[in-house]
Amino acid sequence: MPEVLELKPLKDKYLKLIMVESEFPIDWWFEVPKEVKDDLIWNLHLISKEYLQLIESLIEKYRPNFAVEEKPNSWDNGLNQNDPLEALFAKYKIPFKHADISENAELYLSSALDEHRSMIQNLENRIRDIIKNQGKNPEKDEFFQQLVLWKEYMQKDYNTQEDEVRYKVREAWMMMNILNLAREINEKKLKALFICDPRHFDGIEKLTKDLGIESEQVKIKRTIKTEEVEEELEKEVEIDITK
């Protein structure tokens, strides 16, 4: 039976949700752009030693009953067996899961935009054909101008609808995932870590207020140790030279 989105306050339970900024942006699309799919770094979902140390310090500070991470768009098959975060939470015997919109809901919402995708693709094809036939400067062609404007309008409308799902809809689903996990734990007073893209902080905080949940935000400060990086690069150069 398909899962239904339903946000109900916790009964007879207190939950404090600590939102923790993800180390790297967690992007989401209905259809991952090809250039992103081919990006090796994006697909690796790297986690630094320093970030793991931060999460461990938060575990020791808050003693959470469970932890949740916004599911990266690059992962199609649940938790990565080599995920260092999963290993860290397992070390402390803390239940850890990913949160996202349900697959059925995503497919349904995505199918509603099929006509937009088809129209955008057709317009792009027509625009390319005109450029190919008339050269790189067909601006004086009134029909060409209309095609470009219509394509831009359709793309903007598509992006607006995708953003609605990317934020409001997904945030509601992720919050429901968190509430369901809280209900599974047989304790009245709970704390949870939620690792997510900081662009969700405001939306999630609004939901916590509506649901009577206390929340806190942990934002990370990034610094780059340029001297160490330069030293490592110099070592690589020296190694290449000796070869």
Give the closest residue to 18 by CA, choosing from 49, 78, 58: 58
The pLDDT value given to residue 40: 59
pLDDT tens by residue, 111-144: 999 999 999 999 999 988 888 887 666 667 788 8
Q: What is the pLDDT of residue 201?
A: 97
- Determine the Cα–Cα distance for residues 236 and 234; give it in Å rounded to an integer: 5
pLDDT at position 239, please?
A: 45
First to last CA, the chain: 61
CA distances from 168 to 73, 76, 82, 164, 240 (A): 16, 21, 30, 6, 50
For 45, residues 6+ apart whose C-beta sits below 8 A from its C-beta are: 24, 72, 74, 75, 80, 83
Residues 156 and 188: beta-carbon distance below 8 Å: no
The reported pLDDT for the residue numbered 132 is 83
Amino acid 81: pLDDT: 54
Nearest alpha carbon to residue 116 among 156, 78, 82: 156
Structural contact between residues 51 and 195, judged by C-beta atoms closer than 8 angstroms = no
What integer pLDDT is reported at residue 79 of this predicted model? 45
Burial class (CB in 10 A: 0-12, 13-18, 19+), 131: middle
pLDDT at 89: 96
pLDDT of residue 223: 73
Below-70 pLDDT ranges, the chain: 1-2, 37-45, 73-81, 135-139, 224-243
Map out the domains of the chain as residue ranges.
14-101+169-242
Q: What is the DSSP letter of 23?
A: S
Residue 227 CA to residue 5 CA, distance in Å, equals 50
Q: How many CB atoms lie within 10 A of CB 134?
A: 13
pLDDT at 243: 40
Residue carrying structure tokens 């995503």: 106
List 68's β-bridge partners, or say none. Answer: 97, 194
Closest C-alpha to 180, from 195, 172, 89, 49: 172
